[in-house]
Amino acid sequence: MAIILDGKNLRDKILAELKEKIDTYEKKPTLVVILVGENPASQIYVNNKKKTAEKIGINSIVLNYPENTTEQELLNKINELNNDNEVTAILVQLPLPKHISKENIINAIDPKKDVDGFTPYNFGKLFSGEKPYVYPCTPKGILLLLKEYNIEVSGKHVVIIGRSNIVGRPLSQMMLNENATVTVCHSHTKNLSEITKTADVIISAVGKNIIEGEKMLKSGCVVVDVGIFKDSTGRTRGDVDFESASKIASYISPVPGGVGPMTITSLMLNTVELFEI
C-alpha cells in the first residue's frame, strides 16, 4: 500500500514555524484579499485564508465588492493598495465576474505584492528560468510536499495533467527547474494512459475522475492528486481513484488532506516572503 502524502501534517508544522517567526516581527505583514460577488466557494476559500492568516499573526483584510463592481473601480483600489506601505500582499480571488478582465486586474498588481505569483512579471521570471518574487501557491505546495517525503524529481519523468495558469503551467516550469523530464497533458492529449504509464511522478489537476490504478499507473510511481470536486453522490473527491491507485503507487496524496492544505500554507509562506523583500 502506498504511503500517504499528508498535507495537513506538513501544513501544521510549517504554520507553527511561520507563527514563531512572525511573533518576532515588530510590524506584521498585511494581506489584502479582494473578493468580488457572492460565489459561495470563493467565500469559503477567502474565509479560510483570513482565518489561517490571523492564526499565525498576519493582518488580514478582506475587501468585499458587489457583483456589479466595475473594472475601473477595482483598478483604482489596486492602485491605492499598491501605494499603501501598510499593505504587503494583495490577492484577488478568482474567478471574477465576466464583465471584468482577469488579465487587466492581475496585471495591475505590484509584482512585489503579488502573493499568488500570477502577474506577468512574476510569471515571466518563472518561465525564463529566473527567480520570481514568489512562486504560485499550488505548485509550490506540491513541491514542498514531495520534498518533505524526500521524493527526488531530478531525472524523473513527471507527467502533469492539466495546463491551467494556476497549476499545470507554472508547475511544469518549476519541475523543469528541478531537472525533471516533464510532459504536460490536457484535454486534447491522445492515449493519455500510455503516457501516464511511463510516469515516475504523476500530478493530476483536472477536476474529473480520470486516473484509475492499474490501467494508468506504473508500479511504484508517485501520485499527486490536485483535483477536487463533488461527485454525483455529493462526496468530495479527487481526480484519482484512490483505492486502485494506492495499491500500485509508492506514495499518494489524498483528497481532501493532500494538496489543498499545502496551497494555503504556500500562501502564508508567500505573504511572509513578500513582507521580507
Instruction: Tell me the catalytic residues.
Output: 49, 93, 116
Q: Does residue 139 interact with ligand NAP by CB under 6 A? A: no
- Closest to ligand NAP by CB, 72 vs 198, is 198
Q: Does residue 259 interact with ligand NAP by CB under 6 A? A: yes
Q: What is the DSSP string of 91-156?
A: EEPSPPPTTS-HHHHHHHS-GGGBTT--SHHHHHHHHTTS--SS--HHHHHHHHHHHHTT---TTS
Q: Does residue 151 interact with ligand NAP by CB under 6 A? A: no
In order of 116, 179, 252, the CA distances from 120 in angstroms are 11, 24, 33
Q: Does residue 185 interact with ligand NAP by CB under 6 A? A: yes
Q: Contact, 186 vs 141, CB < 8 A?
A: no
* Interface mask toward ligand NAP for 211-230; x: CB under 6 A: ---------------xxxx-
Q: Does residue 167 interact with ligand NAP by CB under 6 A? A: yes
In the list 188, 190, 230, 235, the residue contacting ligand NAP (rule: CB under 6 A) is: 188
Q: Contact, 173 vs 123, CB < 8 A?
A: no
- Residue 36: closest CA among 114, 105, 84, 83: 105
- Closest to ligand NAP by CB, 65 vs 229, is 229
- Closest to ligand NAP by CB, 30 vs 172, is 172
* Minimum separation from the CB atom of position 274 to ligand NAP (A): 20
Under DSSP, the state recorded for 140 is H
- Contact footprint for ligand NAP (CB under 6 A): 138, 161-164, 166-168, 185-189, 192, 205-208, 210, 226-229, 259-260, 263
